[in-house]
Copies of this chain bind each other. A is one copy, B any other.
Amino acid sequence: MPLEGNWINMKEKALELLKKRKFAELRLLLNDVSPMDVATMIEELDKEDMLLMFRLLSKDLAAETFVEMDSDNQEMLISVFNDKELRAIIDELYLDDVVDIVEEMPAIVVNRILQQADPETRNSINELLKYPKDSAGSIMTIEYVDLKKDMTVEEAFNRIKQVGVDKETIYTCYVTSKNRKLLGIVTVKDLLLADKTTTLDKIMTTNIIYATTLEDKEVVAKKFEKYDFIAMPVVDKETRLVGIITVDDAVDVIQDENTEDFTKMAAMQTSDDTYFKTPVWKQAKNRVLWLLILTLSAAITGTIITNYQTAFAAVPLLVAFLPMLMDTGGNCGAQSSTMIIRGLALDEIRVGDVAKVILKEVGIALLVGLALVLVNMIRIKLMYNSSPLVSQLMIVVGLTLMCTVTIAKVLGATLPILAKACHLDPAMMASPIITTIVDMCTVIIYFGLATKLMDVIPSI
């Protein structure tokens, strides 16, 4: 039993067999490796060896390995495949995987794929390509087992055995009417536990949770999370069954949405590719827009500061507290906005909860603020005890800190909910924007208080 600990050994052995050109042995060895691992191994080879090893794989394994490869390598392989090889791969693949591959390929490769697909497959690919990028239709497969409600359990099993080989999942089967309307769901478990002569209408579940083709795929993925499905039917506007989504695709959507949130929360535009596959100029492009917006907003804070030149001309020490006040405000805002953005994403917080959230954040701000003020008071007292202004400084910095923390927490909690209420993505309202806004408030409050409360500074 080649267990996973042996994976490294197996890889070495495979590479050695390849080097020694012992293809029969290599073929046997590879048949025991999972497609994902074959793909990882094969992709590290140079072009010729890659093709050589790929051609050693059995038909099934070749197709499954192909799916797991990276689109550049897929394109390279397609370019060296002869028509027969390409046709064999397309025949073996699930339709939704073919569509995923087609979406990444340049037009010339797409044409070759469509030419080699049989007419029925070609039509299906074209149909699937029409669904919008973020829709349930774009991630569904049309390969499912459909049954009729007057079939017996035995007939159902016969049909599954007959058509099941090519289907992505056979464990959930769909009962449809003559005009393809979805009537019910029967699982193989139901079938196994029922009597052979029972008709499906007696055992099918009619309480169906389904997706519609144009529904947002994120919403669909959340239903998988909530209801613990392994597959979910997709219907069109007339509730006709057009496809199914399987849990592995839902997991991919969940991870993509998480990556998108991480990216947006750090003030970047999202990239469809991985870090290394996104070229430097594109990374720069994704990042620069928000940086420019934020740099110009920060300039406003700078302009506000220039209005208070007299204040820090009189007490230069005031400037020394700016980084602490601004950083703390930014961090407090980041904490709150992160909690709220994540809560909204997981449906734990809703727009209607805004008052409850604000109340909670004010509570947290008071506690956290008190701790921060206390620690900073002690620090100021210790560091600047010799200065005649020490008590005035403590009051001004302490009051500002308390205000900053409260404003940061309230803004960090409110803005993401506000974005959601306006049908914008709450992840936009994260640390960078909130920091910029809180900075302005902090500077105004800080120098405002200093001007009012410190006797050495002439009021402006």
Per-residue CB contact flags for chain A residues 273-310 toward chain B (1 = under 8 Å, else 0) read 01110001101100110111011101101110110010
Which residue of B189, B207, B225, B309 is within 8 Å of A170 (Cβ)? B189
For residue A278, give the distance in angstroms from its CB to the closest CB of chain B: 9
For residue A42, give the distance in angstroms from its CB to the closest CB of chain B: 16
By size class, the interface of chain A is 35 or more
CB of A323 within 8 A of CB of B335, answer no
Quick check: is A453 within 8 A (CB to CB) of the other chain?
no
Looking across the interface, which residue of chain B has its beta carbon closest to that of A168? Answer: B228
Which residue of B206, B230, B323, B337 is within 8 Å of A230 (Cβ)? B230
For residue A420, give the distance in angstroms from its CB to the closest CB of chain B: 14
A291 in contact with B331 given A206-B1, A298-B324 (CB within 8 Å) = yes
Interface centre among A227, A290, A443 (most CB of B within 10 A): A227
Q: What separation, in Å, do the CA atoms of A1 and B334 have in the docked complex?
A: 46
For chain A, residues 213 to 261, give those with C-beta under 8 angstroms from any C-beta of chain B. Answer: 224-228, 230, 239, 247-248, 251-252, 254-255, 258-259, 261
Q: What separation, in Å, do the CA atoms of A268 and B336 have in the docked complex?
A: 10
Looking across the interface, which residue of chain B has its beta carbon closest to that of A289? Answer: B371
A267 in contact with B335 given A254-B254, A327-B439, A371-B288 (CB within 8 Å) = yes
Question: Chain B contacts of A340 at CB under 8 A?
Answer: 275
CB of A164 within 8 A of CB of B183, answer no
**14 CB-based A-B contacts, threshold 8 Å:** A4-B209, A34-B209, A161-B193, A164-B189, A171-B171, A225-B255, A230-B247, A263-B342, A276-B360, A281-B367, A299-B324, A306-B316, A312-B319, A322-B322
Looking across the interface, which residue of chain B has its beta carbon closest to that of A432? Answer: B331
Which residue of B160, B227, B263, B319 is within 8 Å of A34 (Cβ)? B227
Per-residue CB contact flags for chain A residues 1-39 toward chain B (1 = under 8 Å, else 0) read 111100000000000000000000000000011101000
CB of B367 within 8 A of CB of A284, answer yes
Which residue of B184, B226, B295, B319 is within 8 Å of A36 (Cβ)? B226
Quick check: is A320 within 8 A (CB to CB) of the other chain?
yes
Quick check: is A431 within 8 A (CB to CB) of the other chain?
yes
CB of A295 within 8 A of CB of B274, answer no
A210 in contact with B327 given A192-B157, A267-B335 (CB within 8 Å) = no
Quick check: is A364 within 8 A (CB to CB) of the other chain?
yes
Quick check: is A131 within 8 A (CB to CB) of the other chain?
no
Question: Chain B contacts of A306 at CB under 8 A?
Answer: 316-317, 319-320
User: Secondary structure of the A side of the interface?
Assistant: helix
CB of A330 within 8 A of CB of B34, answer no
Q: What separation, in Å, do the CA atoms of A331 and B267 have in the docked complex?
A: 8
Q: Which of A50-58, A85-93, A117-125, A372-380 contacts B (4 or more CB under 8 A)?
A: A372-380
For residue A160, give the distance in angstroms from its CB to the closest CB of chain B: 6
Quick check: is A76 within 8 A (CB to CB) of the other chain?
no
Question: Chain B contacts of A283 at CB under 8 A?
Answer: 339, 360, 364
User: Which 10 pairs between the two chains have the least Cβ-Cβ distance?
Assistant: A266-B338, A284-B367, A228-B248, A302-B320, A298-B324, A280-B363, A301-B323, A309-B316, A298-B327, A275-B343
CB of A432 within 8 A of CB of B295, answer no
CB of B439 within 8 A of CB of A274, answer no
CB of A379 within 8 A of CB of B299, answer yes
Looking across the interface, which residue of chain B has its beta carbon closest to that of A184? Answer: B1
A259 in contact with B439 given A276-B356, A280-B360, A379-B296 (CB within 8 Å) = no
Question: Chain B contacts of A322 at CB under 8 A?
Answer: 302, 305, 319, 322-323
Q: What separation, in Å, do the CA atoms of A193 and B36 have in the docked complex?
A: 24
Per-residue CB contact flags for chain A residues 41-81 toward chain B (1 = under 8 Å, else 0) read 00000000000000000000000000000000000000000
Which residue of B2, B34, B275, B291 is within 8 Å of A339 (Cβ)? B275
A367 in contact with B288 given A210-B4, A302-B320 (CB within 8 Å) = yes
CB of A290 within 8 A of CB of B160, answer no
Question: Chain B contacts of A305 at CB under 8 A?
Answer: 319-320, 322-323
Q: What separation, in Å, do the CA atoms of A268 and B334 have in the docked complex?
A: 10
Quick check: is A424 within 8 A (CB to CB) of the other chain?
no
